Structure 1
Amino acid sequence: MASVKKFQVTFDCADPERVARFWCEVLGYVVPPPPEGFADWDAFNSSLPAELQGSAFACVDPAGEGPRLFFQRVPEGKVVKNRVHLDVRAGTGLVGDERLATLRAEAERLVALGATVFQEQVADGFNESCITMLDIEGNEFCLD
């Protein structure tokens, strides 16, 4: 039997720190401590060659349960739909109107952080409600 592996989720983006800090707010994640010998991430970033400054950032689950999220700068912008996306589990265990109200309230909070509501899917008797959103750089994710 294979052992469970730790993993991280990597995002390609234009502004790694900005996107990482957005996801910290969405998920309750935190920025990890800077590398040993640096007072903060700004000091670490300043120590890098100019072309690498601001090229990466990360955030982690403070409880150590969820995967690390890593954000790396890439030159190209987002062009097509994501092949992989995060589902933010805001309505777990809820159904019907209670679920939809909870998802809408969370969507409102995330819009205030810079996200965009892309599509709201209301329960249809087979699937429960969910809301597809876009993060601050246009990457799709779902509130479910």
Structure 2
Amino acid sequence: MSTIKQFQVTFDCADPERVARFWCEVLGYVAPAPPEGFATWDAYNLSLPAERRNAGFVCSDPSGVGPRMYFQRVPEGKVAKNRVHLDVRVGTGLVGAERLATLEAECTRLVALGAIRQYVLLADEENESCITMQDIEGNEFCLD
């Protein structure tokens, strides 16, 4: 018999704190307080050797239900489509024009945060509409 395991979603990126804060805004997640003895994350980062500054950042669901998200700096840029992506579920239970209007409203909010709208997939016989987007570093995700 298997047991349920917790998991974390990890993003490779160029600027961990920037990408983490974007996803905090998208999902309603929160960033942790700076380490003890530091008033801000900037102050903490300045205390580190240059190669360790902004090497990683975390955000989490304040209710504790959703997975922890970890953002780690990597030297290479994104070069291909993600093999795994997040579906941000803003239209659950909605259909037709009501669903599309909800997706469009959220898309507008996220574009203002720096996301890029790619395209709309309209409902067909099997699937409801969704909007494919990219975060501020080009990682694909869907508004579903």
TM-score, structure 2 normalization: 0.95
Residue by residue over 1:49-99, the C-alpha shift from the partner in whole angstroms, topping out at 9 and shown as x without a partner, is 111101111111111111111111111110000001000000001011110
Residue 17 of structure 1 aligns with which residue?
17
Instruction: Measure, in 1, the Cα distance between the counterparts of 2:67 and 2:15.
Output: 20
Instruction: Measure, in 2, the Cα distance between the counterparts of 1:36 and 1:64.
Output: 22
CA deviation after TM superposition for structure 1 residue 125, in Å: 2.4
Secondary structure of 2:131's aligned partner: strand
Cα 1:65/1:108, change in 2 over 3 Å: same
Residue 129 of structure 1 aligns with which residue?
129
Residue 49 of structure 2 aligns with which residue?
49
The one-letter code sitting in structure 2 at the alignment partner of 1:79 is V
Secondary structure of 2:136's aligned partner: coil
RMSD: 1.2
Secondary structure of 2:82's aligned partner: coil
Instruction: Measure, in 2, the Cα distance between the counterparts of 1:27 and 1:95.
Output: 22
- Where structure 2 has 5 or more consecutive residues not aligned to the other structure, the ranges are none
The share of aligned pairs that are identical, in percent, is 75
Residue 81 of structure 1 aligns with which residue?
81
CA deviation after TM superposition for structure 1 residue 41, in Å: 2.1
Alignment length (residue pairs)? 144
1:93-132 superposed matches below 5 A: 93-132=93-132
Secondary structure of 1:21's aligned partner: helix
Instruction: Measure, in 1, the Cα distance between the counterparts of 2:87 and 2:126.
Output: 19
1:60 equivalent to 2:60? Answer yes
1:143 equivalent to 2:126? Answer no
Residue 69 of structure 1 aligns with which residue?
69
- Where structure 1 has 5 or more consecutive residues not aligned to the other structure, the ranges are none
CA deviation after TM superposition for structure 1 residue 35, in Å: 3.0
Instruction: Measure, in 1, the Cα distance between the counterparts of 2:59 and 2:93.
Output: 27
Instruction: Measure, in 2, the Cα distance between the counterparts of 1:63 and 1:137.
Output: 27
CA deviation after TM superposition for structure 1 residue 34, in Å: 2.7
CA deviation after TM superposition for structure 1 residue 42, in Å: 2.4
Instruction: Measure, in 2, the Cα distance between the counterparts of 1:42 and 1:137.
Output: 21
Instruction: Measure, in 1, the Cα distance between the counterparts of 2:136 and 2:89.
Output: 19
